[in-house]
Amino acid sequence: MPGGYFGRFLWIDLTTRRARAVPLAEELLRSVVGGAGLGAALLTRLSKPAVDAFAPDSPLLFVGSPLVGTGLTTTAKYAVVAKSPQTAFIGDSLSSSHLALAIKRAGWDALAITGSAKAPTYVVVDHGDVRFEDASALWGLDPSQVESRLQARLGGGCRIATIGIAGEHGVRYATITNDGRHAGRGGPGSVMGAKRLKALAVRGAQGVPVAHPAELRQAARELAERSRGASTAKYRLLGTAGNLLTFDRLGTLPAFNFRRSTFAGAERISGETLAVSHRTGTSACASCTIGCEQLYKLHSGSVRLEYETLFALGPLVGVDDPDAILAAAALCDTLGLDTISTGGTLAWAMECFERGALSLEETDGLELRFGNSAAVVAALPKIARREGLGELLAQGTRRGAAILGRGSEQWAMHVKGMELPGYEPRSLKTMALGLATSSRGACHNRSGAYEVDFSGDVDRLAADAGRGAFAAASEDYAAVMDSLILCKFVRRCFSDFYSETARLLSLVTGWDVDGDELREVGARITNLKKLYNQREGWTRADDTLPPRILADSLPDGPAAGVGLSRSELDMMIGAYYQARGWSADGRVTDEAARALGIVAADGGHRSAESFVVDIERC
């Protein structure tokens, strides 16, 4: 087995309360590396077509990578992969810190959890031992309470992943929390809750074998040094909250449910202002030399805050009170709610209320108006417990709009069921394409297409066919990072990303990997995700943007008057399909699958929808 791997995953069945080791072929590992890539291959193999995300046999995967535990900066990360209850397509979310190290040191490349416990349960993976324990006393507790109780009960070195009450109640955008960090987008917390799995506790002490330890140590020192340089300075100084004023200045800061692209209160809640008025310190993930996390004070304690949370609980809902935003962010952490989808769903509900599509009685007496920060905070526990108004909002904007009707579909801001992040598509045309075509739904992490728009190499306000190749390349690039797994904040520390990361992978594994091979890995992973979605019912109509984006021009800011027509989006999507070698209606062709080495699991010649990377039948 190559360095960096143990060549096996642990399959845990909550129904039978059994666990067993399943081998992973080296060919598979090299073809998808790890993280989101290995997760996509395992999800395809282990899940039945059209299975409901909440069904017992719907897998929940925790997947590491060969770089975890090697000493390379920013690599203490894992991917959570499952069928998303928001989109009904592939869902993958990344999280950082010590749990990734614990899974690796316990001797596993991944954990696969299926079945459903009869009663609240937590699972302990303690080196080679797996135990199923009663979690009744933990049900209803918040993640920090669960973590402290289990660590006191299980002893040192145990790392915990757990859900809050939002996951217990099946909120479709519930998170999984570990070490105070969150795997949130796509709703993996609700998949975990449907299995009655309150927590996963892991402890391990195995060393991670690497092929060339001395050379790797030197490479790790060099990368760590670069990670402390100018390319990451903005993350250390202000964190991603520093994006807010820049986006506002460029007219790409969504506000008031994407009705505006600038926000009058931006200065008051900017990263620069918060650094002076509220910052208490900085923090870093395990194995990270950047230290980007900014901590801000509350009335008691502190809370981490990134740009996306700041945007979603601030401008998107019209709130410019920093104390209210911080309080709402902390409450989302406590309840286990994804902040982007929470803010997006609340913004939709606010517009429903202001337009008369939701009555005061239907909002439980809450004046859900833009800027009403008290209503935002009051709504959060209702969502997490699915009480009153919360029953509707727990569904997210797509399902909520389908239930409510009354024209509310027109201002439901999602792609494939996932709420939009804090990038205005009309003033970032490459990003618009990336959001529309992403397999995960509206996501700024699975497609970094906004970097093309910000580069100055294109006119970010104009649509053209050249965006297709840019968006495809950006998506493949992200797939490689999410499979190695490297933090995206370290990306600018490489002068030649593919060749330099290929060398790191070679030093760990002993494989002779070059940049061209990693490029192909990225394309293979993107195609695997799309094939999974095709199997689950994807059609060309799913690659689109919300009606508002395609109908209304921007009313304010430097991009005032700029819009994005349906024909312009369709033109760019067609160019994207062409760049990928897919059919005109966006399906992965047999030819494209064969060119990337994606073969039928049984070796036969079936349609591309059935193609998956071959692994040993479990």
CATH number for the domain that contains residue 178:
3.60.9.10
Q: 510, 498, 489, 477: which is closest to 66 by C-alpha?
A: 510
Q: Could you tell me if residue 607 is inside a domain?
A: no
User: Average of pLDDT values for 122-131?
Assistant: 94
pLDDT category at 351 given cuts 50, 70, 90 is very high
Unique residue bearing structure tokens 């129904």: 15
How far apart are alpha carbons 342 and 421 in whole angstroms?
A: 11
Domain coverage including residue 49:
8-203
Tokens of 586: 């966006």
198 and 257 part of one domain: no
Q: What is the pLDDT of residues 203-262, one digit of tens each?
A: 999 999 999 999 999 999 999 999 999 989 988 999 999 999 999 999 999 999 999 999
DSSP secondary structure, 60-88, as one string: EEEE--TTTTSS-TT--EEEEEEE-TTTS
Same domain assignment for residues 121 and 182 = yes
In a domain, 223, yes or no: no
How far CA 479 is from CA of 242, 394, 428, 458, 483, in Å, comes to: 25, 29, 21, 23, 6
Same domain, residue pair 345 and 281: yes
Q: Judge if 304 and 199 occupy the same domain.
A: no
Residue 443's domain is classified under what CATH number? Answer: 1.10.599.10
What gap in Å lies between CA 340 and CA 351, rounded to an integer?
Answer: 17
| pLDDT, tens digit (0-9, with 9 covering 90-100), for 259-309 | 999 999 999 999 999 999 999 999 888 889 888 889 999 887 899 999 999
User: Which residue, of 362, 387, 419, is where some domain finishes?
Assistant: 419
What is the residue type of 469? Answer: A
User: In angstroms, rounded to a whole number, what is the distance separating the alpha carbons of residues 603 and 126?
Assistant: 38
Q: How far apart are CA 518 and CA 233, in angstroms?
A: 28
| Position 219 in a domain | no
Last residue of a domain, one of 378, 400, 419: 419
Residue 463, domain member (yes or no)? yes
pLDDT tens track for 352-385 = 999 999 999 999 999 999 999 999 999 999 999 9
Question: Does one domain contain both 238 and 155?
Answer: no
Assigned domain for 497 exists:
yes
Quick: pLDDT tens for 136-149: 999 999 999 999 99
Half-sphere exposure (Cβ direction) of 131: Cα atoms closer than 13 Å: 11
The rounded distance, in Å, linking the Cα atoms of 586 and 584 is: 5
- How many CB atoms sit inside 10 A of residue 278's CB? 20
What is d(CA 77, CA 483) in angstroms, rounded to the nearest whole number? 10
Could you tell me the maximum CA-CA distance found in the chain, to the nearest angstrom?
Answer: 67
Query: Token pair 């990038």 is at which residue?
Result: 423
Output the pLDDT for position 599: 59
3-class secondary-structure state, position 403: helix
Q: Establish if 209 belongs to a structural domain.
A: no
pLDDT in tens, 529-567: 999 999 999 999 999 999 999 999 999 999 999 999 999
Whether residues 259 and 318 share a domain: the answer is yes
Is residue 263 packed enough to be buried (19+ CB in 10 Å), middle (13-18) or exposed (0-12)? Answer: buried
Report whether 346 contacts 412 (CB < 8 A): no
How many domains does one find in the chain? Answer: 3
Report the predicted TM-score, pTM, of the whole model to 2 decimal places. 0.96
Report yes or no: 283 and 239 within 8 Å, Cβ to Cβ.
Answer: no
| Residue 412: HSE in the Cβ half-sphere, 13 Å Cα cutoff | 23
Same domain, yes or no, for 414 and 432? no
Mapped onto helix, strand or coil, the DSSP state of residue 601 is coil
Same domain, 352 and 454: no
Instruction: Report the length, in residues, of the chain.
Output: 618
Look up residue 26 and give its amino acid.
Answer: E
Retrieve residue 112's tokens. 């696969």
From the list 89, 44, 91, the residue with the least C-alpha distance to 608 is: 44
550 token code pair: 């395609």
Q: Are residues 243 and 184 in the same domain?
A: no
Residue 488 burial by CB count (10 A; 0-12/13-18/19+): exposed, middle or buried? middle
Collapse the DSSP code of 309 into the 3-class scheme (helix H, G, I; strand E, B; otherwise coil) and give the result.
helix
CB 483 within 8 A of CB 81: no
Strand partners, 63: 79, 110
- Whether residues 199 and 293 fall in one domain: no
Residue 217 located in a structural domain: no
Strand 197-203: give its sheet, edge to edge.
129-134, 121-126, 197-203, 159-162, 176-178, 181-183
pLDDT in tens, 312-322: 999 999 999 99
Model confidence band, residue 128 (pLDDT cutoffs 50, 70, 90):
confident
| pLDDT surpasses 80 at 618 | no
- pLDDT tens string 395-405: 999 999 999 99
Q: The tokens 């982007």 sit on which residue?
A: 340
Predicted local distance difference test score (pLDDT) of residue 291: 87
pLDDT band at 447 (very low <50, low <70, confident <90, very high): confident
Nearest to 120 by CA among 107, 132, 111: 132
Considering the domain architecture, whether residues 370 and 455 belong to the same structural domain is answered as no
| Structure token pair of residue 392 | 């509707």
Cis upstream peptide for 12 (omega within 30°): no
Specify whether 415 is located in the same domain as 507.
no
Burial label, 155 (beta-carbon count in 10 A; 0-12, 13-18, 19+): exposed
DSSP state of 128: T
- 89-104 pLDDT, tens digit per residue, is 999 999 998 999 999 9
Last residue of a domain, one of 404, 419, 434: 419
pLDDT mean across residues, the chain: 94
**Residue 216 belongs to a domain:** no
